A and B are shown apart, each in its own frame.
Chain A
Amino acid sequence: MKNPAKVNEAIRHLKPQAAPFEEEMSLNFGPQHPSTHGVLNFLVVTDGEVMHQALPNIGYLHRGIEKLAEMTPYSGFMPYTDRVDYLAAMFANQVFAMAVESLAEIEVPKRAEYLRVIVCELNRIASHFIATGALALDLGAVTPFVQWLREREFINDIMEALCGARLTYNYMRIGGVSVDMPGDLPDKILRFLDHFEPIIDEYNRLISNNEIFVKRLADVAVISPIDAVNFGLVGPNLRASGIGIDLRKTLGYSVYPDFDFEVPLGKGFRGALGDAYDRYMVRILEMTQSCRIIRQALEKIPGGEYRANVKKKLKVEENEVYSRVESARGEMGVYLISDGTDRPYRLKIKTGSFTAMSIVEKASQGLMVADLIALIGSLDVVAPEVDR
């Protein structure tokens, strides 16, 4: 059997579909469903309200970005990285830029690194807005979500003043950033932070400490540290299970070692360690830390160039690299193989949501249908990051 097509045909019938469960109802959850955060599909096997299993079925937003990378020059691929994770586009920008810079041995100016940190942390806050707000929305509280949308508009304004886009920024370039910060932007950012930090408390009063909300999330969908490692959870989801891995600290990439900040860990705030409430609360606490980093970065930011001199038609020697950053959804990696031409030979994007989705099957056993929504919401899964 040398023909791959035939091999595949053989494999397809190796594992027949499991026999339908008796006295169980299977329910097709998504892809058009208000709380699937984009287009995810779950085959939910339930016995009444109690779920036996939720089998994720992904790929409804598989856009073939990895294949497109092989057709696109290095500098032209930046806009695609925005669309890998539209809620936290800066991180995808950064990880791709870092990979190419590492291959082409480009020194990034200090100012550019600081600018990258500032926009990344702002973006992290904006991303956590949607994560925490949408979780509240899924549990039935609309107002907190709209409140976060209101705050998010300010970040969108700041980003727009910086790079002209509200969502898919395309701000970073290989060797730096596309434009320098306008003169009045630090003041705007600081004013926003002054305004925003008290709002976190207000938000906590509104929803985080709401008893119904806590009861809906505490002790729900507990992910033990062992499971978290086994299923390759990353970022806030992993830290909620009590494992303190934050690439900003462990790798210390970019200029993060210059800043003084803490990594919030889950510690069973209102229930067991690693439950949905921990995952939620870790994100809320991370926002405060991001504010701290932005303040320090704005203080310490040096002058000088914002972009290294990079050839427009960049050609990279045969080499390979795996660069990683701590995105809003955890470790985001780019595995880049160059072959001496002006476009990548192979580019693989590793995302946090992909692995987070794979745990749904395990973590959802024995939950209720309403808890599945809490689970997906608290894992902060974004469809394009899963499918790419």
Chain B
Amino acid sequence: MKAFADKLFLNIFHIQAADSPYLALWYVLMMFLVSFILLNFAALFAGIASYVERRIAARMQNRIGPNLVGPQGILQWLADGLKMFLKEDLVPQTADKFIFRLAPYFVFAGLFGAFVALPFGYGIVAADLNVGIYYILAITSLVVVGIISGGWSSNSKWALFGALRSAAQIISYEIPTGLSLMLVVMLAGSLSTQSIIESQGGWPWEWFVFHSPFTLAGFFIFFISSLAEGNRVPFDLPEAESELVSGFNTEYSGLRFLIYPMAEWANLWVVGAMVTLTYLGGWQIPGVRLETIPSSVLLFLISITIFFIKTLAVVFIVIQLRWTLPRVRVDQMTLICWTYLVPIALICLIGTMIWMLAFPWKSVFGTAIRILMSTVGGSVMIWCMLRARHNYVIDKDRFEKLKGIPAWYPPWKLP
């Protein structure tokens, strides 16, 4: 960002930024601008994601979903958010009032802090930290502080349950997350998010996920454990609605409650972007090495689009999982982590090391395996899509045959 700010300064004022007496002021100004943009992006994404998730869920359940607030219900998230904003802000009498009020901000800071190091396209990142991955892992851990303090200070047993579950869960799953990220760091030789993407390529066989069987396993471990860290189904234990009423946020209302779901949906983007940038090739355009050619606006835009598409695809899968799977039990949650994910991640780490030495990136065998794996992976994806299409057609047929019994129309035939 610093380089970008300097360049912008030069373009606007035609002096080197370093020579200007207003350097500090300029940087502060830029900082505010960037954080304003990021915050807005995150909040907007959280809002729209909530609407989209409800529509997808409705479609999966043969419903329609919110469609009356604004055109096709697109303003639903705005109404929800503003309503919560203005609702009475209750603080239970027996709560630890200071911590109760403070807790949501930890969650807020933790998640929105992660956006600083996340790239959006070639060269578009608020701060290309040289410890980017490490920074994201560290700052998202603040979330658990917020959840625990929120649950504990509510002085409600349900909230306490949720908070303690969350503590066990997020701290356990830090380990497989970290280990599976190590694979990528090892392959890229850097912790910076941009250079991890730069060391991958645009074609699927140049992504880290298909580098070797070990990285494929690592990809799934990373995906599962980031679901767990984001409290998504099947790991939504901290707020398990049917068990703990509403988990750690049981006693929250109004604006303070609003922050929790907002952070949860913003976290969707963090999960999607992290998976994309570490394993799925980030913003790389197939056949083009962006760092070797002169920059052009078109390529910038294409790289942003590619990054967004990949991220949103991951987000879509996460949403689909949420509305399909049941929730695991709390002991199974820790069991999955400690007896499966951690050992497998360790094996993958060692395996990848050996693979890297035995079959370097450009070796024939390594490339052949990469191409083979990516072909198989792609075919599986396409098969899944065709299967979904097939089921959809069957479903349509099936309800045709029931004409006369129902006073009900499938959503796609609503009068």
A residues with a Cβ closer than 8 A to B are: 25, 27, 33-35, 48-49, 136-143, 146-147, 150, 153-154, 157-158, 184, 188, 191-192, 194-195, 206-207, 210, 212-213, 215-216, 368-371, 373
Write the B216-249 contact mask toward A (1 if CB under 8 angstroms, else 0): 0000000000000000011010001111010000
5 additional contacts, CB 8 Å, given A146-B63, A191-B401? A146-B62, A150-B61, A150-B408, A154-B402, A212-B328
Chain B residues whose CB sits within 8 angstroms of the CB of A25 once the complex forms = 157
Question: What A residues does B324 contact at CB under 8 A?
Answer: 141, 143, 206
Tell me, yes or no, whether B12 is within 8 Å of chain A by CB: no
- For B121-158 the 0/1 string (1 means CB < 8 A from A) is 00000000000000000000000000000000000011
Top-5 shortest CB links A-B: A140-B327, A146-B61, A141-B326, A139-B326, A35-B242
Cα–Cα, bound, A30→B224 (Å):
33
Q: Does B14 contact A (CB under 8 A)?
A: no
Cβ of B405 to closest chain A Cβ, rounded Å: 5
Once the chains bind, are B401 and A195 in contact (CB under 8 Å)? yes
| Contacting pair A154 B61 (CB below 8 A) | no
Q: Please tell me if the beta carbons of B405 and A191 are within 8 angstroms of each other in the complex.
A: yes
B250 to chain A, nearest CB (A): 11
What is the CA–CA distance of A192 and B62 in the complex, to the nearest angstrom? 18
Q: Which residues in chain B, 389-410, are within 8 Å of chain A measured between CB atoms?
A: 398, 401-402, 404-408
Give A216 to B329 CA distance when docked, in angstroms. Answer: 7
* Cross-chain contact of A216 among B245, B328, B398 (Cβ < 8 A): B328
Contact yes or no, A140 B234, CB < 8 A: yes
A207 to B165, CA, bound (A): 25
Least CB distance from A74 to B in Å reads: 35
Q: Is the CB of A147 within 8 A of B62?
A: yes
Report if B330 contacts A (CB, 8 A). Answer: yes
* B243 in contact with A141 (CB, 8 Å): no
Question: From A145, which residue of chain B is reached at the shortest CB distance?
Answer: B61
Query: B234 contacts which chain A residues (CB < 8 A)?
Result: 140, 212
- Given A140-B242, A146-B61, check contact A49 B404 (CB 8 Å): no
Contacting pair A192 B402 (CB below 8 A): yes
Question: Which residue of the partner chain, among B240, B331, B405, contacts A158 with CB atoms under 8 Å?
Answer: B405
A192 touches B405 (CB 8 A): yes
Evaluate whether A154 and B406 lie within 8 angstroms (CB atoms) in the complex, with A140-B233, A212-B234 already known: yes
CB of A369 within 8 A of CB of B61, answer no
- Asked if B245 and A33 make an inter-chain contact with CB atoms under 8 angstroms apart, the answer reads yes
| A150-B62, A368-B329, A368-B331 given; A140·B240 CB < 8 A | yes
Q: Which residues on A sit within 8 Å (CB–CB) of B401?
A: 191, 194-195
